[in-house]
């Protein structure tokens, strides 16, 4: 009997309407379009505006689109892995809030926190549930309302991040397509360079933490950049080598969209040519858990059945990794 793989069978995406351009950022902090464009590749990002709207509200339209495409109802989903760094609430899990909103009454689920690597951690985790035969329809959501934790007086972070969501449905595949291999890494030595100082059990919210602006994302960009350039590129190359793949065998490289220069370094290390690298950073910035599934969603029509695709990510924690999958439709 051939091995069951977990294959992506549908994708959905959603980017909120409001467009925060580099020009508008120029009016908010001491920056300029030229600096942002040359240092990051970002021109604009989307922001979820409106009272009472949270990360789960980014996921609802994305997943409703996915379900419609796949022609199934929410009640058919077995498991929801909700990858996010900006949960609606500290608890309960956004997976629960979201499942209730879309009517996924037969699913269980949880939130997965691996910062920008969340989606590939979630995809790999979900794949195990499919491969084991335990579940038939697993939804992996990557969503973040980064604007909820960004300090719009800090030019080092506010220019990079945006809000958005992408989602993938995975199902059993016996044709050899789906998730073939992944290499994932976590290293807490990276904590000082990218974290949120307060709001957890270490330092619960207080007047003092708010006055000290400790509820915003804190990043030492240059340090993160150095680790990201090396680790994301190396792990993508490693997963290719382990599967005897050369750059010519790769149809698409789908990297996390944090900085165009990190994407270029990953492409150059793997040898994948620019025409095969999926990039939408100029329009969305870094949507954290949303970047990779948003890319899959936007490129879906260009993918062909059997295409070898490499996903690669690097994020806070540090976390990083790469997934090798064969497109299934």
User: Contact region for ligand UT7 (CB under 6 A) — 180-188, 196-204, 223-231, 244-252?
Assistant: 223-231
C-alpha distance from residue 103 to each of 60, 94, 96, 311 (Å): 10, 14, 10, 30
Query: Which DSSP symbol is given to 291?
Result: H
Beta strand ranges found along the chain (DSSP E): 5-14, 18-21, 44-47, 79-83, 108-112, 138-145, 163-173, 178-186, 194-196, 217-219, 252-255, 308-315, 319-326
Quick one: 130 or 253, whose CB is closer to ligand UT7? 253
| 286 classed as catalytic | yes
What is the Cα Rg of the chain in Å? 19
What distance lies between CA 169 and its chain's CA centroid? 15
**Closest residue by Cα to residue 41 from 154, 160, 203:** 160
225 is an interface residue for ligand UT7 by CB under 6 A: yes
| 158 classed as catalytic | no
**Identified binder of ligand UT7 from the candidate list 120, 228, 281, 328, rule CB under 6 A:** 228
201 is an interface residue for ligand UT7 by CB under 6 A: no
Are the C-beta atoms of residues 179 and 124 closer than 8 Å to each other? yes
Phi-psi region of 52 (alpha: psi -120 to 50; beta: other; left: phi over 0): left
**Which token pair is 206?**
């207080």
Q: How far is the CB of 98 from ligand UT7 (least distance, A)?
A: 23
12 is an interface residue for ligand UT7 by CB under 6 A: no
**Which token pair is 176?**
């050899």
**Identified binder of ligand UT7 from the candidate list 165, 224, 236, 328, rule CB under 6 A:** 224
| 295 classed as catalytic | no
Q: How far is the CB of 222 from ligand UT7 (least distance, A)?
A: 4
Residues 92-131 that bind ligand UT7 (CB under 6 A): 116
Spatial distance between the Cα atoms of 272 and 87, rounded to a whole number of angstroms: 35
286 is an interface residue for ligand UT7 by CB under 6 A: yes
244 is an interface residue for ligand UT7 by CB under 6 A: no
159 is an interface residue for ligand UT7 by CB under 6 A: yes
Q: How far is the CB of 177 from ligand UT7 (least distance, A)?
A: 29
- Find the catalytic residue in 22, 135, 256, 259: 256
**Identified binder of ligand UT7 from the candidate list 56, 147, 231, 259, rule CB under 6 A:** 259
Contacts with ligand UT7 by CB under 6 A lie at: 31, 35, 39-40, 116, 155-156, 159-160, 194, 221-222, 224-225, 228, 258-259, 262, 286, 314-315
Residues noted as catalytic: 116, 256, 286
């Amino acid at each position: 009997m051939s091995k069951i793989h977990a294959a992506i069978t549908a994708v959905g995406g959603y980017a909120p309407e409001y467009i925060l351009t580099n020009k508008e950022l120029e009016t908010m902090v001491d920056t300029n379009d030229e600096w942002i464009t040359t240092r990051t590749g970002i021109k604009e990002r989307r922001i979820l505006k409106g009272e009472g709207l949270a990360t789960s509200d980014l996921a609802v339209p994305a997943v409703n689109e996915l379900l419609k495409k796949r022609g199934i109802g929410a009640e058919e989903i077995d498991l929801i892995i909700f990858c996010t760094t900006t949960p609606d609430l500290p608890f309960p899990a956004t997976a629960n809030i979201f499942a209730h909103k879309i009517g996924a009454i037969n699913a269980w689920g949880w939130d997965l926190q691996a910062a920008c690597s969340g989606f590939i951690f979630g995809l790999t985790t979900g794949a195990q549930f499919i491969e084991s035969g335990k579940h038939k329809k697993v939804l992996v959501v990557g969503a973040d309302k980064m604007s909820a934790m960004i300090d719009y007086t800090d030019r080092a972070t506010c220019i990079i991040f945006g809000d958005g969501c992408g989602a993938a449905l995975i199902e059993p595949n016996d044709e050899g397509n789906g998730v073939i291999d992944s290499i994932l890494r976590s290293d807490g030595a990276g904590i000082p360079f990218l974290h949120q100082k307060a709001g957890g059990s270490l330092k619960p919210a207080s007047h003092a933490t708010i006055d000290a602006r400790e509820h915003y994302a804190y990043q030492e960009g240059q340090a993160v950049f150095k680790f990201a350039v090396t680790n994301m590129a190396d792990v993508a190359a490693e997963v290719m080598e382990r599967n005897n793949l050369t750059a010519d065998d790769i149809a698409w490289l789908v990297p996390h969209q944090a900085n165009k220069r990190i994407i270029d370094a990953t492409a150059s290390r793997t040898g994948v040519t620019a025409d095969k690298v999926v990039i939408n950073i100029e329009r969305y910035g870094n949507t954290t858990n949303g970047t990779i599934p948003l890319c899959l969603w936007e490129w879906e029509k260009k993918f062909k059945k059997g295409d070898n695709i490499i996903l690669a990510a690097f994020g806070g924690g540090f976390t990083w990794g790469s997934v090798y999958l064969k497109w299934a439709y």
